[in-house]
Amino acid sequence: MKKILVTASALALMAGSAMADPLRVGIAAEPYPPFSSPDSSGQWVGWEIDIIHAVCAAAEVDCEITPTAWDGIIPALVSGRIDVIMASMTITADRLQTIDFSNPYYNTPVVVVAQKDMGMAATPEGLAGHVLGVQVSTIFQDYAQHYFEGETEIRTYQTQDEANQDLASGRIDATLADSLAMDPFLASDAGSCCVSLGPVAMDEAILGRGIGAGVRKGDTATLEAINRGIAAILENGTYDEITSRYFATSIYGG
């Protein structure tokens, strides 16, 4: 883990000037448990929400959670409606053409979850002739269209929950998603229909190099603040403490 060397006086100046207003941290408006979802009172909760609060506290900046439609979240950042994206967004070369990213703050495998006893595998050959559901505007859609489209029917959904519902009801045969996001589904009654077929073959050009916070091109003050916060919670144990509330193993992967 690389440490950012900044003097205390420089940090204070940065926090007091460039960060005078709260950072509007964009999360996906669509629930994505266990990372972020609204509770019964409408408050957003989850691992990523806790991490956002911890990163902002460690960086000594005020932050404001700002739910934003996933398919418009990058335009919202570029146009200035939000200042940061922390919404399980993968760092990819394509996205780096439009926005900058912080250092990764988690990294987990991409898996195929499928109906039991259908003889499928997490390969183009293993999914041939089947129906695969993916969330729209994600690396999962990009991967599915690159590797599976043609022999496999690809169906897109606005949320992963919608894909999971169709998987549980038998309207699709499989879905492609983040392994940790699928764990609660597989542990549920609805998920008893299905099994993880394991990770797909890695393609960093599509699947990226982990999850980072997105910031506007050239916004070095925000980028440095977020990186400072990430480094601090990794070093002081806050990251591991938060992660232990949600997951049985580390998801940092750094």
Q: What is the pTM of this model?
A: 0.79
Neighbours of 151 (CB within 10 A): 11
pLDDT value at 5 more than 80? no
For 46-91, how does the pLDDT look when each residue is reduced to its tens digit (9 = 90+)? 999 999 999 999 999 999 999 999 999 999 999 999 999 999 999 9
Q: Confidence class of residue 11 from pLDDT cuts 50, 70 and 90?
A: very low
pLDDT value at 9 more than 50? no
Contact 160, 181 (CB under 8 A): yes
Poorest-pLDDT segment among 15-19, 30-34, 44-48, 76-80: 15-19
Residue range 94-118: mean pLDDT, rounded: 96
Q: Confidence class of residue 248 from pLDDT cuts 50, 70 and 90?
A: confident
Contact 199, 121 (CB under 8 A): no
Q: Are strands 131-135 and 153-157 parallel, antiparallel or unpaired?
A: parallel
Neighbours of 145 (CB within 10 A): 15
**What confidence score (pLDDT) does residue 19 get?**
55
Identify the architecture of domain 8-107+210-246 in CATH: 3-Layer(aba) Sandwich (3.40)
> How many angstroms separate the CA atoms of 173 and 84, rounded?
36
Adjacent-strand bridge partners of 155: 133
In this chain, the answer to whether the domains covering 8-107+210-246 and 110-207 adopt an identical fold is yes
Identify the architecture of domain 110-207 in CATH: 3-Layer(aba) Sandwich (3.40)
What does the domain layout of the chain look like in residue ranges? 8-107+210-246, 110-207
Q: Confidence class of residue 214 from pLDDT cuts 50, 70 and 90?
A: very high
Neighbours of 157 (CB within 10 A): 20
- Cα dist. 60→55, 106, 187, 218 in Å? 8, 21, 37, 21
pLDDT value at 254 more than 80? no
Adjacent-strand bridge partners of 174: 114, 132
Percent of all residues in the chain with a pLDDT value above 70, rounded to a whole number: 92
> How many angstroms separate the CA atoms of 189 and 127, rounded?
24
Residue located via tokens 């073959």? 201
**What confidence score (pLDDT) does residue 249 get?**
83
pLDDT value at 2 more than 50? no
Poorest-pLDDT segment among 11-20, 51-60, 102-111, 136-145: 11-20
DSSP label at residue 64: E
